[in-house]
Amino acid sequence: MKQDSTVQTHSFQTEVQQLLQLMIHSLYSNKEFFLRELISNASDACDKLRFVSLTDSALLEDDEPLGIWVELNQKAKTISIRDNGIGMTEQEVIDNIGTIARSGTKRFMEQMSDQQTDDDDGNFIGQFGVGFYSSFLVSKNVTLTTRKAGTPQSEGIKWTSDGSGEYTIEKIDRPERGTEITLKLNKEDKEYLENFRVRSIISKYSDHISLPIQMPKEPELDEDGKPKSDQEQEWEAINKGSALWARAKKEISDEEHNTFYTSLTYDPEPPMSVLHNRVEGKMEYISLFYIPSKAPFDLWDREQRHGIKLYVRRIFISDDAKQLMPNYLRFVRGLVDSADLPLNVSREFLQQNREIDKIRTASVKKILSEIGKIAKKDAEKYATLWKEYGRVLKEGLIEDMDNKDALSKLLRFASTNVGDEAQTVSLDDYIARMPEKQKDIYYVTADSHAAASSSPHLEVFRKNDIEVLLLSDPVDEWVVSHLTEYEGKNLKSIAKGDLDLDTLKDADDKEEEEKRKETIKPMVEKFQSILADQAKEVRISNRLVDSPSCLVADAHDLGGNMERILQAIGQEAPVAKPILEINPDHEIVKKIDLEGELIEDWAQLLFDQAALAEGVSLKNPGEFVKRMNKLLTN
């Protein structure tokens, strides 16, 4: 850092320089977004001042209404955005602009999470985030002047940069509180000096902001088409000045919703669905929720911020109200505006407040109901929704028992009746196709669709034309442990416990099966003694048709797939021996000589083959190969 009088020159952090390049070349697809970003920052700064002035009215300094002013200077080729909000100190300017981009509202919520008292609520609302750097999309030089509300006029700050790597900062006298940003526009961006162009951008992106966004009125012209002399500058509001969510549903067009959604989420794609609801009575609040067309990139980060903003009587309170939406609906974006909550909302208040709980409960039911309507009325749209959010919705079966019935109707699975791995089969679809004698809903779990669809446990079901659900998402193991019954039908794994398929067989098959059991009983007993250290039990299988053997988990043990999932995430899985089932009708089993010297090799081979079919890694694959070669050559 070098200093010349009161002017100091600093270098941006390396991350900021990288961010500037990202902003200019990648992050924003449309340059006009810069105006939306700067106006949004100005609005946040005014919301911040309005919030803190509730406990310290002296910060307002005067009676001038809060607002935002946008002014064009054709001669100087500049555009200025000014607000009379909270403003910044010198250190805050350095912290929020010179260092890596910090979202003011995010820092506010971090403070809310860490604080132990309510004395300092809202310290970081309205400060600069990534949006400030969008200034450099259209300008070759940016000047920011600011003064923190409640500080002396001599504590004003001037910040200047061309975005190339350094910035200057100096103290100035600034009578007005708040912040003004002046952009020296690039030659190729002179369109933003056109009055009509700027007004249309403000109307497009910032119409919902409750504060007035003002621009100078067009001057009156004389007969020669020139501005009349001695005219005082007058300002007029460009935006409607009412929150979009406070308007009646019928008054809001799809285009307005799309524009507001983009300003809220930075997602250029229109939302898949819009849920706008006004509740009046004992409680009064408005909710406006959007289901994005595409899953957010951080969908699988369960600790990442949610997308629900909280307002109280149009005053912004929180950017990340986790208490308003369960984790499994973390993809939903939007806001709640309450007329009943106090303005000094703390984290503890949100966690313990009954009204918040009621809003959350009603919001969840509303969203699940909307998703259910899509599932019934528009199969193609729901297929898209399920592809994006299906695995997240499955988490709801584990987390939200109150909405278990609604969530279970939304579930979709792959099955043996579908030719590919698309998850399109509902539980209602499955039940509608069940044979009259079938009592249970059958499923098999595996670590991939290919493994599930090729499981030897399916053989008897395919032979008898019985549909089986193929579950290959890791979360499915937890889903079926919580959803054990649907519409009076038990969900049953075909790879666990005994299978009662007697109702699906005719009398001749049953009689023949009993004869085979008696014939092969000596082999079962022999295998049991040989594999005592590896298998809990050896028994005759009634589920195999084409395979000689398979492994089955006991009814009360974890399945092999669940054990592997737990091990993969670093958790200890209870050690349980599997059950080995053998197929008495298979040619290999028929050829085994119980009195021969290779009986131990045959027992171990059938066990290892079954393990491989389950996706288990053999402890000693070399021994398996040797044993198989030995048996093939004898």
- Rounded to the nearest 10 degrees, the angle between the axes of helix 354-377 and helix 379-399 is 140
Q: Which of 146, 132, 172, 153 is nearest to 86 (CA)?
A: 146
Tell me phi and psi for residue 174, to 5 degrees.
-140, 105
Q: How far is CA 554 from CA 385, 438, 491, 565, in A?
A: 36, 22, 16, 18
Q: Cβ–Cβ contacts within 10 Å for residue 459, how many?
A: 18
CB 323 within 8 A of CB 360: yes
CB 46 within 8 A of CB 211: yes
Edge-to-edge strand order for the sheet containing 469-471?
Answer: 414-415, 469-471, 441-445, 489-493, 485-486
> CA torsion sign, 455 to 458 to 459 to 463?
negative
pLDDT of residue 503: 60
Give the integer Cα–Cα distance in Å for 208 and 212.
10
DSSP secondary structure string for all residues of 291-307: E-SS--TTTT-TTS--E
> CA torsion sign, 275 to 280 to 283 to 286?
positive
pLDDT of residue 593: 87
Q: Are strands 213-216 and 166-172 parallel, antiparallel or unpaired?
A: unpaired
- The parts of the chain modelled with pLDDT lower than 50 are 1-4, 100-129
What digits encode the pLDDT tens for the residues 563-582? 666 555 556 666 678 899 99
Close Cβ partners of 586 (under 8 Å, ≥ 6 residues apart): 544, 546, 547, 548
pLDDT of residue 603: 93
pLDDT of residue 518: 73
Q: Are strands 166-172 and 178-185 parallel, antiparallel or unpaired?
A: unpaired
Which residue pairs from 374-382 have beta carbons closer than 8 angstroms and sit at least 24 positions apart in sequence?
374/273, 375/409, 375/410, 375/426, 381/272
pLDDT of residue 107: 43
pLDDT of residue 195: 93
Q: Which two tokens stand for residue 203?
A: 């109307």
Give the integer Cα–Cα distance in Å for 396 and 393.
5
CB 86 within 8 A of CB 148: yes
The whole-model pTM stands at 0.66
Q: Is 563 helix (H, G, I), strand (E, B) or coil?
A: helix
The single-letter DSSP state of residue 64 is: P
Give the integer Cα–Cα distance in Å for 9 and 26.
28
Tokens 């992106």: give the residue: 205
Q: Is 4 left (phi over 0), alpha (psi -120 to 50) or beta?
A: beta
Close Cβ partners of 583 (under 8 Å, ≥ 6 residues apart): 541, 544, 545, 547, 548, 549, 589
pLDDT of residue 21: 64
Rounded to whole angstroms, the maximal C-alpha distance in the chain is 119
**Helices and strands of the chain, counted as H and E runs:** 19, 23
Q: Is 205 helix (H, G, I), strand (E, B) or coil?
A: helix
